[in-house]
Structure 1
């Protein structure tokens, strides 16, 4: 596991489109299908990463708190499942059911979506406004495994609240940190 920071895609970037299969319902989803009327959170996660495991309960809480406020949520796994079988779509299904993910958990088999978003790690978070423009990217909050800081989702929550209140994007946007995306050779 290599600790890797987000690449910090440029603010204002239009949300890259995707057409991926949900590991839960087996239906195809696009950005258009998952977006909310007020904005959308795109999360790059996986099953095996300890940094994702550390924040899983908070991302479920976050989605449950903000979906009712008009925000869409989607999680995408782009890891190479040949070398990381725990991230296979069948395991994604089990994981999502166990954790009660209230959002689609999509599999990016060809890793094209991760490349389009310039995703570098898991977890990696992207918040788009109602015009589908990147408003925030980076960390969920300052908590990391074993650093003793409570998980709060503070940074994403502040970004979503700023959208709701027609405020500017947060001035300080820290990269997320986690396991590198497991790219295919």
Structure 2
């Protein structure tokens, strides 16, 4: 596991479009399908990363707390499954069902979507407004495995609350930290 910070993503940049298979439903899902009326959260995650495992419960809470308020959520795994078979689509489906993800868990086999977002790590979170313009890219909160800080979702909740209050989020964007995306060779 290589400890990797997220790359920068310009505020105001348009969300790159995608159409990917959902490992749970078997349907192909696009950005437009999961787009929320007020905002959208795109998360790059995977099954085995200890940083994702550490925040999984909070990801579920975030989606449940905000999806009925007009925020859309989607998770994408872009890892190379040939070298990391624990992230294969059938295992993604099992993982999503066990954790109880209330959002689609999409498989980016070509890794083109991760490249379009310049995703670097898992978890890597992007928040877009109603027009799919970037308002935040960064951490969920200050908690990391073994640092003793509780997982609250504080950083991402501040952004989502600003969107719901029709305020412009002008707070900090601390990079997410996690395992590097497992790129194909």
If the length of structure 1 is used for normalisation, what is the TM-score? 0.99
- Identify which range, 163-172 or 126-135, moves more after superposition: 163-172
Structure 1 outlier segments of 4+, above 4 Å: none
Q: CA deviation at 1:170?
A: 3.2
Q: 1:53 — aligned with what?
A: 53
SS of the residue corresponding to residue 68 of structure 1 reads helix
Q: Deviations over 1:3-42 (max 9, x none)?
A: 0000021111101000100000010001000011000000
The structural deviation recorded for 1:51 is 0.2
Please report how far the alpha carbon of residue 168 of structure 1 lies from its aligned counterpart in structure 2 after TM superposition: 1.7
Q: How does 1:71-82 map to 2 (within 5 A)?
A: 71-82=71-82
What is the aligned partner in structure 2 of residue 65 from structure 1? 65
Match of 1:107 in 2: 107
Measure the CA separation in 1 of the matches of 2:164 and 2:55: 23
Question: What CA distance in whole angstroms lies between the structure 2 residues aligned with 1:134 and 1:119?
Answer: 14
Q: CA offsets, 1:70-92, max 9 Å, x none?
A: 10000000000000000000000
Unpaired runs of 5+ residues, structure 1, are none
CA–CA distance in structure 1, aligned partners of residues 170 and 52 of structure 2? 23
Q: Deviations over 1:110-161 (max 9, x none)?
A: 0000000000000000000001000010000000000000000011100000
Name 1:158's counterpart in structure 2. Answer: 158
Aligned length: 185
Where structure 2 has 5 or more consecutive residues not aligned to the other structure, the ranges are none
TM value normalised by structure 2? 0.99
Pairwise CA RMSD = 0.5
Q: Are 1:116 and 2:116 an aligned pair?
A: yes
- The separation in 1 between residues aligned to 2:137 and 2:143, in whole angstroms, is 16
Match in the other structure for 1:11: 11
SS of 2:127's partner is: strand
CA separation in 2, counterparts of 1:148 and 1:65?
24
**Deviation at 1:165?**
1.0
